[in-house]
Chain A
Amino acid sequence: MAVVAPPSTDDRVTHRSVTATLLSRPEIGALLGVIIIAVIFLAAAPAFRSVDNIGTILYGSSTIGLMAVPVALLMIGGEFDLSAGVAVTTSGLAAALLSWNFGLNVWLGVFLALLISLAIGAFNGWLLHATGLPSFLVTLGTFFVLQGVNLAVTRLVTGGVSSNTISDMQGWNSAKAVFASSLKIGPVDLSITVLYWVLFTIVGGYLLLRTRAGNWIFAAGGDAAAARAVGVPVTRTKVLLFMGVGFGAWLTGMHMLFNYNNVQSGAGIGNEFIYIIAAVIGGCLLSGGYGSVVGASLGALIFGMTQLGISYAGWNPDWFKTFLGAMLLFACVANVYVKKKADQR
C-alpha cells in the first residue's frame, strides 16, 4: 500500500506484487467464475449472445443479488439466516393481505410490510443474543415458523394458497412503478430491480470497506469476544445486520408482489441457500470475518447466467441445481487454492 515503506529489519518481509494483492481479494474466485460461465454459454448458446437477453439475465441475477448482498454482510458478521427465503414471501404476503383485508391504500400495506420485515430481522438477532444458540439453529426455527405462518395466515384471510389480487386498489400503479417497472436502455429492457441491485452492491461495498460499520462487521465476525473487549457493540451490529437482510427481503418481496400481482404462500423455500451460495461463491467464509459484497453480487450474476444459459443452450433444465452445486464446490476450492497461491508470493 505505502509507496515509501520504512526500511524493514526483517529480510523475509518483501513487498507483495500487484498480482498477488489482486489474487488475494476475496472476490477473485467469483470473477473467474463469471468469466468462465460467460465463455461457456457464449460458445454453447446462440441466444446468450443476443444483446436483448442481457436484460433478462441481469433481471434473474438481481432478484438473487438483492438478497445476496445483505446475506453476505451478515455472513461476514459471523451469522447465517436460513429464514431469508421465506421472509421474502412473508413480506409480500403481509403487504398484500394487509392492504386487501383492511381496504387500505397499498402504500400503507407496503409500509407495514417493511416494519414486519425489519421486526423479523431484529427478532432473529435478539433471539441469537438471548439464547446464545448458533444462528443456524435460531434461523432454522424462524424459517419453519414463517413457512407455517405464510400458509396458515393466507388461508385464514383468503381461503386459498395465494394472496388476493390488489391491482384494483389505490396506490397500485405508483407502487408498481417503484418496485416492478422497467426501463428501456437502447435495445435492453432493464428491470428496476437491476438498478436496486447495483445500488445495494455499491452501498454495501462502501459500507463494508470505508465505514466504521464495516470495520465492526469484520471484527464481530472474526472474533466476537475480541471485538467486545475493544468496545465494539457486537450484539447491536449483528441485530442491524439481520435487519439489513429484512430490508432486502422487503424490497424483493415488494417486487414479487407488484410484478406478479399476487404472492404464492409457499414461495421462497430453498432460496435462502441460493443467497448463501452466491455469498460463498463470492468469497464469504462460513466461519465469518471475511468476504466481499461485490463477490456476492458476482455470485448472483453467476446464478442468473447459469439459469438462463442452460435453457438458451437447450440443455435439460432439470440439471440446473446439479450444475449450481458443482459450481459451489468448484468456486470454494478455487477460492482456497487462489488464496494459498497469493499468500505464497
Chain B
Amino acid sequence: MEQMNSQDASVTEPMLKVEGISKRFGGVQALQDVDLQVDTGEHVALVGDNGAGKSTLVKILTGAEHADDGSFWFAGEERHFRSPLEARRHGIETVYQTLALADHLDVVANLFLGRERYLLRLGPFSVLNRAAMKTEARALLERTGVQIPDLGAMIMGMSGGQRQGVAIARAAGWGSKMIVLDEPTAALGVQETAKVEEIIHTLKDQGVTVLMVSHNLRQVFDLVDTIWVLRHGRMVGARKAAEVRPQEIVSMITGADDASGLEFA
C-alpha cells in the first residue's frame, strides 16, 4: 500500500491519511485496523459489500462517529472530529444520501445556508446581500458544471439530479479541502446519474479532492483514480482504477478469490 503512493507522496503530502482505525458496535467488529490514504486532488472510491464498514469509516472521518482505536491526519494535522460541524470547519464537506437541502428556499439561499453574505450585520436581523449571493452562486455553479436554469426557483420543484447538483456545488464551494460523497447517484435515474457524474468529473478538473462511497462499479471505474476495498471491516487492498480489471475488484469485495485480493495487502 505504501509503495503504491510513494511517488505522489514525495511530491505532495496526502490530504487524508488513516492508520489502524478500529470500531466495535456491541458484539460486531465494524472496523478492524483500517488504513486509507487520499492524496491531494485525488478521487478515491471506497467500495465493499453491505455491512463491510464503508459507512462507519466515513462517519468516523466526518465526525459523526468516533473510532475506538487508531488515528487519522487531515491536511497534515492529526484530527479527532467530535461533530460533523467540526469536520466541516476543517474543510471536510459531506454530501449525505438524504440531501440536506431546504425545500422551500431557493437555490441561492440553499447554497449559502449557514454562511450567508450580508449588506448589514445586525445579529438575527442581519440584512442579506442577495445580489452578491446570486452572483457568487452563479459563478460557483458554473465552476462545478451544475446547470440550474432559474436560481430563484425553490428546491421543491427540482429533479433529483438538480438537487444533487446543488448539494455537491455547496460542498465544493467555500474553501472545502475534501468532499465526501455518500452514494451520490443511488436514488437517481440514468440521465440524472450521467449529469451528476459529469459534475464529479468537473471537480476532478478543478483539483478538488473527493472520497466517494459507491455500489456502482461502472461508475467507480469511470470516476476515480484509486479504489479501496473493504470486506468484513478490514481493508483488503487498494488498486489504481486504470490498472485493474473490474473482476478483480469484485473478487476482492466478495472474497471469492482470496489470492488475488491479498497479494497487494
Contacts and interface: CB of A to CB of B under 8 A. Distances in A.
Given A215-B116, A230-B113, A232-B114, A13 B102 contact: no
B109 interface: yes
Interface of B: 84-85, 88, 96, 98-105, 109, 112-116, 118, 124-128, 130, 147, 149-153, 157, 170
Interface string A156-191: 000000000000000000000000000000000000
Contact of B127 (A211, A218, A226): A211
Interface string A210-227: 111101101100110111
A213 B124 contact: yes
Given A9-B147, A240-B124, A219 B96 contact: no
B27 to A, nearest CB: 29
Contacts of B98: 226
Interface in A231-256: 231-232, 240
B103 A289 contact: yes
A52 interface: no
Contact of A215 (B84, B109, B153): B109
B118 A219 contact: no
Interface of A: 1-2, 5-6, 8-10, 13, 15, 207, 210-213, 215-216, 218-219, 222-223, 225-227, 229-232, 240, 289-290, 343
A266 B124 CA distance: 35
- DSSP class of B's interface residues: helix, strand, loop or mixed? loop
B102 A212 contact: no
Given A5-B149, A212-B116, A219-B113, A231 B103 contact: no
Contacts of A10: 149
Contacts of A9: 147
A53 B85 CA distance: 56
5 contacts: A1-B151, A5-B150, A218-B104, A219-B105, A223-B103
A207 B125 CA distance: 7
Name the 7 nearest CB pairs between A and B, nearest first. Answer: A1-B152, A231-B114, A226-B100, A219-B102, A229-B100, A213-B124, A230-B114
Given A222-B103, A222-B104, A227-B113, A215 B128 contact: yes
Nearest to B99: A226
A218 B125 contact: no
A10 B147 CA distance: 10
Contacts, number: 88
B147 A229 contact: no
A232 B105 CA distance: 14
Contact of A212 (B96, B100, B118, B153): B118
A211 B124 contact: yes
B113 A232 contact: yes
Given A223-B103, A231-B114, 5 more contacts: A13-B150, A216-B113, A223-B101, A227-B113, A240-B124
Contacts of B124: 207, 211-213, 240
Contacts of B104: 218, 222, 289-290
A13 B148 CA distance: 10
Given A2-B152, A210-B127, A240-B124, A227 B115 contact: no
A289 B157 CA distance: 15
Contact of A289 (B102, B125, B127, B153): B102
A9 B157 CA distance: 17
B149 A6 contact: yes
A276 B21 CA distance: 52
Contacts of B101: 223, 226
Contact of A231 (B105, B109, B115): B115
A88 B100 CA distance: 37
Contacts of B109: 215, 218
Contacts of A343: 157
A301 B116 CA distance: 34
B150 A2 contact: yes
A115 B81 CA distance: 39
Interface centre among B113, B118, B153 (most CB of A within 10 A): B113
A223 B170 CA distance: 17
A10 B148 CA distance: 10
B125 A211 contact: yes
A44 B125 CA distance: 44
Given A211-B124, A230-B113, A223 B102 contact: yes
Interface centre among B99, B100, B153 (most CB of A within 10 A): B100
A279 B116 CA distance: 28
Contacts of A229: 84, 96, 100
Given A9-B147, A207-B125, A218 B100 contact: no
